[in-house]
Chains A and B, each alone.
Chain A
Amino acid sequence: MDLLEEYIKSGRIKLNTHKYHEAYTVHDPCNYVRKSQMAFGQSTADQSRWIAQQCIDPSLYREMCEDSMNNLCCGAGGGAWAMPYDDERLAYGKMKADQIKDTGAEIVVAPCHNCRDQIMKALPKVHDMGNYKETLYLWELVSLCLDFEPWSEAEIEAGHAARDAQFERDGVELEEEE
């Protein structure tokens, strides 16, 4: 997240802010917010909100939890996504589903692989999430809003040369494009 923030602030990437017009909210992953704050004195809560608001108009932002340090786990943390206790994981996630529903948001931005899977693939199937339509990784949102020019001819040539040398070294052979 430091990197995304740096790219945006330094102007290394530019974002198209007119791609999304839906209300959105940001989820706080326990590992990057509460636990990171407790272990390292650093939370990503403000950064993730700031980054999301560089992509979608801040007037459409809906807060799901005013106190990010006390926000709720998605229900699939600590390896629970992979564990055989599906009923418990889904029941746990009801509180997250309710939070999302209460925001009225259509898009949930999830800055964590695991939280995204629970919020996108599991919760909408069993819980009423109100206006909810989709979940995006934070970096997915940034990526989809990117406004960039293709590289220059010289950069493309350099890229191809480096790629070919690497494929040669690693013995990677792709079939020729039609």
Chain B
Amino acid sequence: MPEEAVKEIKVDRKHRKIGNIAPELADRCYTCGTCAGGCPATGLVPGWDPRKAIRAIVLGMEQEVIDSKWPWVCTLCGRCQYQCPMGIQLMRTFRTCRTLRERDKVPGPIHKGTMMNLQRGNNLGIPRDDFLFLLAELGVEMENDEEQPTPGFYVPVDKEGANIIVTINSKEPFGEPDDMKFWWKIFYAAKEDWTVSSTNWEGVNWGLFSGDDPSMKEQVARVIENARRLKCKTILYPE
């Protein structure tokens, strides 16, 4: 190859957006392709797979990865990171790419839901009164269920000193309320001393997926605060 055909790629490591992850990649990635070979998302976004995305970042093209669909079609399943023979934190890197996407360009409702959660205490903005009424109503329904009645049952709200405090996935009160009864019936049978908070009860942390660390931490802090306020020993994310 003639000398002049070799074009040097200059990487400005001091001003990398992806913190101290990238320099470590530059030294480590052997481009073996284990990640891309084992990734179910390989081939779904033309031009991208985990290996290519890592290489792009290594070569200083992180903005192209950040602007691409890749970090969002990747489900952050972690299989690549688990298998990487060089210990590269691919999942963490792709999540960081999500963090670096401008907030108004985060695809779908997960950023808006995160903001909604910070304002109103759950991703879907369900008002407190509607929530409490729904829990009360479902409790009565369950008590009088024809097939398997649970006499004496109700949903304990803000019960101080309960053994377990339970978070709620907002999709359930919003669209699939009866699905909450599965756990409730188990609590009834076990005679558990449990409770739900009347506020900030959301159990789905969309900040985790939108790459929004401050909001993610705020939500976790609220769940813990509820447990402290109500003096509950155990927090249950009912999954």
Expressed in whole angstroms, the minimum distance between the Cβ of B235 and any Cβ of chain A is 11
Q: Does B151 contact A (CB under 8 A)?
A: yes
Residue of B nearest to A37 (CB): B82
Interface centre among A95, A137, A143, A151 (most CB of B within 10 A): A143
Contact yes or no, B136 A13, CB < 8 A: no
Residues in B with CB closer than 8 Å to A137 are 179, 182
Expressed in whole angstroms, the minimum distance between the Cβ of B96 and any Cβ of chain A is 13
Q: Specify which of A7, A34, A79, A158 is in contact with B186 (CB 8 Å cutoff).
A: A7
Interface size class of B (residues with CB under 8 A): 35 or more
Residue tally, chain A, CB below 8 Å to B? 59
Contact yes or no, A170 B198, CB < 8 A: yes
Interface centre among B41, B186, B236, B238 (most CB of A within 10 A): B186
Given A79-B206, A79-B210, A88-B45 in contact, is the A156-B151 Cβ separation under 8 Å? yes
Expressed in whole angstroms, the minimum distance between the Cβ of A154 and any Cβ of chain B is 9
Q: Does B149 contact A (CB under 8 A)?
A: yes
Q: Does B1 contact A (CB under 8 A)?
A: no
Q: Specify which of A7, A80, A113 is in contact with B73 (CB 8 Å cutoff).
A: A80
Contact yes or no, B136 A172, CB < 8 A: yes
Q: Specify which of B69, B77, B164, B206 is in contact with A30 (CB 8 Å cutoff).
A: B77
Interface centre among A30, A113, A156 (most CB of B within 10 A): A113
Contact yes or no, A75 B40, CB < 8 A: yes
Contact with B along A147-170 (1 / 0, CB 8 A): 010110001111110110011001
- Assembly CA distance A92 to B69 (angstroms): 14
Residue of A nearest to B186 (CB): A143
Given A88-B44, A112-B239, A139-B183 in contact, is the A78-B74 Cβ separation under 8 Å? yes
Expressed in whole angstroms, the minimum distance between the Cβ of B38 and any Cβ of chain A is 8
Given A38-B78, A172-B136 in contact, is the A166-B156 Cβ separation under 8 Å? yes
Residue of B nearest to A82 (CB): B108
Contact yes or no, A172 B132, CB < 8 A: yes
Q: Which of B2-10, B51-59, B137-145, B225-233 contacts A (4 or more CB under 8 A)?
A: B137-145
| A residues 15-34 touching B (CB-CB < 8 Å) | 29-30, 32, 34
Given A79-B209, A83-B107, A151-B151 in contact, is the A91-B182 Cβ separation under 8 Å? no
Q: Does A122 contact B (CB under 8 A)?
A: no
Residue of A nearest to B172 (CB): A113
Contact yes or no, A159 B153, CB < 8 A: yes
| A residues 104-134 touching B (CB-CB < 8 Å) | 111-113
Residues in A with CB closer than 8 Å to B186 are 4, 7, 13, 139, 142-143, 146
Contact yes or no, A12 B149, CB < 8 A: no
Give me the interface of B with A, judged by CB distance under 8 Å.
38, 40-41, 44-45, 69, 72-79, 81-83, 91, 107-110, 113, 129, 132-133, 136-137, 139-140, 144, 148-154, 156-159, 164, 169, 171, 179, 181-183, 185-186, 188-191, 198, 204, 206, 209-210, 236, 238-239
Give me the interface of A with B, judged by CB distance under 8 Å.
3-4, 7, 12-14, 29-30, 32, 34-35, 38, 69-70, 72-73, 75-80, 82-85, 88-89, 91-92, 95, 111-113, 137, 139-140, 142-144, 146, 148, 150-151, 155-160, 162-163, 166-167, 170-172, 174, 177
Task: Taking A13-B186, A88-B69, A89-B73 as given, write out 4 further A-B residue pairs in contact, using a Cβ cutoff of 8 Å, ordered by the A residue number.
Answer: A78-B77, A82-B110, A82-B113, A148-B189
Could you list 6 A-B pairs, sorted by A, with CB under 8 Å? A72-B40, A79-B206, A92-B41, A143-B182, A144-B182, A172-B136
